[in-house]
Amino acid sequence: MPAFQGEFPNEGETTQCHQLRAQRKIRHFVPVCTIYADLTDEKKFIQMAPSGNFSMHCPLGTAFVAADCGCTKLIEILPSSNLAECKPEVILTFDDPASPYKDSSTNNITVTYEYVDVDPSLEMARFNGSGMINLYRFSNADFQQSLVIRLEFQDQPGGAEQQTLMTNCIFFYQEEATISMIVDKKISAVIFGLETTNAKAEFIVPYVKGAVDQVIFVYNGEPAVAVTNNVKANVGLTGNVTAGDTL
């Protein structure tokens, strides 16, 4: 059960996300498709990323259409395929003393980290405030309408009032991330943020201080849903998730 914690960088830190987001806004005037068909499976597409090109699943029940630069074709959902298509892209359990940061899925995702300690006996990663875990596999990843994040965290004494659980922008001011989960210790709540090609939303779900809190964040093209310890909140959103820089 990973205990995710972190703090925002100092106000004076230069944010590369701000620059990259500005570049994306400029590119909106001349749309360029950065994904292409995976010839091995119409239900997948190839995502170009700095660390290499990767195959990603379309949302369940859809297939990729190159002319639309997206998963816009509706197809039949076969019961036998559901399990494989819903398998997580990356799983971090922090329970292996020899390789505490190893991805437990079969995808062997590279994990980098800074100022993070792992206690395999507790299955926890402890962040010291400036620490972070990076998954460059998802740098500029196009999630389309297929996003599921599940994690567990435990609030610890001290640190900033707002601490980052997960974001897709390194060294960011909160408004620069398109996917984010922020712990606000002052109000004992997790603040969820999501930006799509059509809108941007933020919603709040309370958590239990000192407990191991379970969090789920889901978006599939319909209302975005956030759940913390079975307390649920949702907000109506449509469109594709706006690409961010990294997780």
Q: Are the beta carbons of 197 and 242 closer than 8 angstroms?
A: yes
> What's the pLDDT tens digit per position in 113-169?
888 999 888 888 988 777 889 887 777 777 888 888 999 999 888 888 888 899 887
Q: Are the beta carbons of 103 and 247 closer than 8 angstroms?
A: no
Over range 75-85, report the average pLDDT: 62
**Contacts with 69 (C-beta within 8 Å, 6 or more apart), sequence order:** 31, 33, 35
Which residue did the predictor score with more confidence, 78 or 127? 127
End-to-end CA distance of the chain: 19
Over range 215-236, report the average pLDDT: 90
> What's the pLDDT tens digit per position in 51-74?
678 888 887 778 899 998 888 887
Q: Are the beta carbons of 161 and 5 closer than 8 angstroms?
A: no
Total tally of structural domains belonging to the chain: 1
Q: Are the beta carbons of 182 and 176 closer than 8 angstroms?
A: no
d(CA 63, CA 75): 7
d(CA 123, CA 121): 6
| pLDDT surpassing 80 at residue 20 | no
| pLDDT surpassing 70 at residue 245 | no
Q: Tell me the pLDDT band of 246, cut-offs 50, 70 and 90.
A: low
What is the enclosing helix (H) or strand (E) of 20?
helix 16-27
Domain of residue 228: give its range.
1-247
Rounded percentage of the chain residues whose pLDDT exceeds 90: 25
AA identity, residue 142: D
**Contacts with 101 (C-beta within 8 Å, 6 or more apart), sequence order:** 92, 94, 111, 113, 118, 133
Per-residue model confidence (pLDDT) at position 171: 57
d(CA 55, CA 36): 10
Q: Tell me the pLDDT band of 205, cut-offs 50, 70 and 90.
A: very high
d(CA 159, CA 174): 17
- Average model confidence (pLDDT) across the chain: 79
Per-residue model confidence (pLDDT) at position 174: 53
What burial class does residue 58 get, using C-beta atoms within 10 Å of its C-beta: 0-12 exposed, 13-18 middle, 19+ buried? Answer: buried
pTM: 0.69
Per-residue model confidence (pLDDT) at position 173: 52
Which residue did the predictor score with more confidence, 194 or 88? 194
Q: Tell me the pLDDT band of 181, cut-offs 50, 70 and 90.
A: very high
CATH number for the domain spanning 153: value is 2.60.120
